[in-house]
């Protein structure tokens, strides 16, 4: 089979790494890919958002399955376009991807189907939003409706902070059209977890839970990023809670979308707050998480290709997925300055030494090749991922690998997975 993966980050490297192991694979392309992906797939210099360029390539090459990594091509309707030309593609249509591209759509879907989420109101007039915020009091959460690359959510500790966010989004148009409409919702408290599920529109296959680390610095301090590390399984998510998430969140969402004429085919990512033991949806994403995909995919024991194909064809097998019982931890190494501005082009040393360690995979994100050297080319540069017997061993192994890798201005958090370790001291059973 010929497979094309779209994207060029750590998530796409994990997808390529996993698909490479499939006995059904004949050729593997990635557009545009990165320096690490280039070792396992044929990289094609077409941007992830160039839908027409990608379509032409897939038709010319006779690609059997296209796998979409990031959200932007989904928002541009790549799945609608490929499907109309008879091409098999993994990912939701533009209409179903609205679970991620419009927070208003997502929240209203949740409300219609009785799926637990923070109480909310939607506003497109600044004065009304401001009045509501003043009535409700702080803390309160302001969310831009559209895609905002992680900059569209403000958890406001005070009324002036909330009003400032409303002003920036709605009056000053800091996020363009994405922020003209906002969701204002109650602030939840607890610990977060991500539970992803494959869906062919009807059948659902939940994946092992993962936990992300969004803030840039240790102890969850500093600005939010795309994610500075992740691990799986998650002690917070017991088998009983995972069942509840399936029954109260994922199943009603997929059933609801199908009943409303927007069947969801792809991977549905539920970002959850676990408050007093109960799950509440913070957000849906229409794709694999980055960096959650890295620990999830290194633990997956089944062949990924038939699963993705099953989703694309509407024939997802009902059988469950098997997971490596070991824990996986992914530590993201980023460029100093990220998520703000940062330098590019620094030579990365020690990659081979790190990759040679047993049970370690170094996934590339923002890397490129220059004069034969691997150099930094993005904010998140690498996702150093390790398996271990228990979370403690996986953490140790991942950081051992991280210590082999250097470049000028490399940054990483030193506490990835610590919350899991702390919780494990008290509990036993873990889902996935």
State how far the Cα of 365 lies from the Cα of 378, in Å rounded to an integer: 7
Phi-psi label, residue 149: left if phi above 0, alpha if psi -120 to 50, beta otherwise: left
Question: Residue 14: which residues within 8 A CB-CB, separation 6 or more?
Answer: 288, 293, 294, 297, 298, 363, 383, 385
Given ligand AMP, ligand GLY, none, residue 282, with its beta carbon under 5 to 8 Å by kind, binds ligand AMP
User: Does residue number 100 form part of the binding site for ligand GLY (CB under 6 A)?
Assistant: no
Given ligand GLY, ligand AMP, none, residue 33, with its beta carbon under 5 to 8 Å by kind, binds none
Min dist CB 44 to ligand GLY, Å, is 24
- Nearer to ligand AMP by Cβ, of 149 and 336: the residue is 149
Min dist CB 365 to ligand GLY, Å, is 12
Looking only at residues 252 through 291 of this chain, which bind ligand AMP when binding is defined by CB under 6 A? 271, 282-283
Looking only at residues 200 through 229 of this chain, which bind ligand GLY when binding is defined by CB under 6 A? 212, 226-227
Going 297 to 386 to 271 to 94, the CA torsion angle's sign is negative
Question: Residue 196: which residues within 8 A CB-CB, separation 6 or more?
Answer: 206, 207, 210, 267, 268, 269, 270, 288, 289, 292, 296
State how far the Cα of 316 lies from the Cα of 18, in Å rounded to an integer: 18
Q: Identify the helix (H) or strand (E) that includes residue 242.
A: helix 239-245
State how far the Cα of 230 lies from the Cα of 413, in Å rounded to an integer: 11
User: Does residue number 159 form part of the binding site for ligand AMP (CB under 6 A)?
Assistant: no
Please choose, out of 183-191, 250-258, 361-369, 395-403, the segment that lies near ligand AMP by the rule CB under 6 A: 183-191
User: Does residue number 138 form part of the binding site for ligand AMP (CB under 6 A)?
Assistant: no
Residue nearest to ligand GLY (CB): 227
Gyration radius from the chain CA atoms: 21
State how far the Cα of 18 lies from the Cα of 8, in Å rounded to an integer: 15
The beta strand positions in 240-309, using DSSP E, are 265-275, 278-285
State how far the Cα of 62 lies from the Cα of 56, in Å rounded to an integer: 10
What mask of x and - would describe binding to ligand AMP in positions 372 to 411, judged by CB under 6 A? ----------------------------------------
Residue the block writes with tokens 């995919």: 297
Figure out which of the listed residues 28, 30, 67, 118 binds ligand AMP, where binding follows CB under 6 A: 118
Please choose, out of 84-92, 173-181, 198-206, 289-297, the segment that lies near ligand GLY by the rule CB under 6 A: 289-297
User: Does residue number 8 form part of the binding site for ligand GLY (CB under 6 A)?
Assistant: no
Min dist CB 255 to ligand AMP, Å, is 23
Question: Residue 302: which residues within 8 A CB-CB, separation 6 or more?
Answer: 321, 322
- Nearer to ligand GLY by Cβ, of 270 and 386: the residue is 270
- Across-strand partners of 411? 334
Please choose, out of 120-128, 156-164, 284-292, 422-430, the segment that lies near ligand GLY by the rule CB under 6 A: 284-292
Figure out which of the listed residues 12, 145, 292, 359 binds ligand GLY, where binding follows CB under 6 A: 292
Please choose, out of 244-252, 253-261, 282-290, 407-415, the segment that lies near ligand GLY by the rule CB under 6 A: 282-290
Residues binding ligand GLY: number (CB under 6 A): 7
User: Does residue number 153 form part of the binding site for ligand AMP (CB under 6 A)?
Assistant: yes
Percentages helix, strand, coil for the chain (3-state, rounded to 5) are: 35, 30, 40
Binding site for ligand GLY (CB under 6 A): 212, 226-227, 285, 289-290, 292
Binding site for ligand AMP (CB under 6 A): 118, 141, 143, 153, 155, 185, 187-188, 192, 214, 271, 282-283
């Amino acid at each position: 089979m010929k497979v094309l993966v779209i994207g060029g980050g750590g998530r796409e490297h994990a997808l390529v790494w996993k698909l490479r192991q499939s006995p059904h694979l004949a050729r593997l392309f990635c557009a545009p890919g990165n320096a690490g992906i280039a070792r396992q797939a044929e990289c094609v210099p077409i941007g992830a958002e160039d839908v027409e360029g990608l379509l032409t390539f897939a038709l010319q090459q006779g690609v059997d399955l296209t796998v979409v990594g990031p959200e932007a091509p989904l928002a541009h309707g790549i799945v609608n376009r490929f499907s109309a030309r008879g091409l098999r593609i993994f990912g939701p249509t533009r209409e179903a991807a609205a679970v991620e591209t419009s927070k208003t759509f997502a929240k209203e879907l949740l409300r219609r189907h009785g799926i637990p989420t923070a109480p909310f109101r939607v506003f497109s007039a600044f004065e009304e939003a401001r009045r509501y915020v003043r009535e409700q009091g702080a803390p309160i959460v302001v969310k831009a409706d559209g895609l905002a690359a992680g900059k569209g959510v403000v958890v406001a500790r005070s009324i002036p902070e909330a009003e400032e966010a409303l002003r920036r989004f709605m009056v000053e148009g800091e996020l363009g059209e994405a922020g003209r409409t906002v969701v204002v919702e109650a602030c939840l408290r607890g610990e977060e977890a991500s539970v992803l599920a494959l869906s062919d529109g009807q059948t659902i296959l939940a994946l092992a839970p993962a936990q992300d680390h969004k803030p840039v610095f240790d102890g969850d301090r500093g600005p939010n990023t795309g994610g500075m590390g992740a691990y799986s399984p998650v002690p917070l998510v017991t088998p009983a809670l995972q069942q509840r998430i399936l029954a109260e969140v994922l199943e009603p969402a997929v059933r609801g979308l199908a009943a409303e004429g927007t069947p969801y085919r792809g991977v549905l990512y539920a970002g959850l707050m676990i408050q007093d033991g109960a799950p509440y949806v913070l957000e849906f994403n229409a794709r694999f998480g980055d960096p959650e995909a890295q620990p999830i995919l290194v633990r997956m024991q089944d062949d990924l290709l038939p699963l993705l194909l099953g989703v694309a064809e509407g024939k997802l097998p009902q059988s469950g997925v098997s997971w490596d019982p070991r824990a996986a931890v992914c530590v993201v190494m980023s460029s100093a300055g990220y998520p703000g501005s940062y330098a590019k082009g620094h030579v990365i040393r020690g990659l081979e030494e790190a990759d040679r360690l047993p049970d370690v995979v170094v996934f590339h994100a923002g890397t490129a090749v220059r004069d034969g050297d691997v150099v930094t080319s993005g904010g998140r540069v690498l996702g150093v991922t390790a398996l271990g017997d228990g979370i403690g061993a996986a953490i140790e192994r991942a950081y051992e690998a991280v210590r082999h890798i250097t470049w000028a201005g490399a940054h990483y958090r030193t506490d990835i997975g610590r919350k899991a370790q702390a919780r494990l001291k008290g509990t036993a059973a873990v889902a996935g």
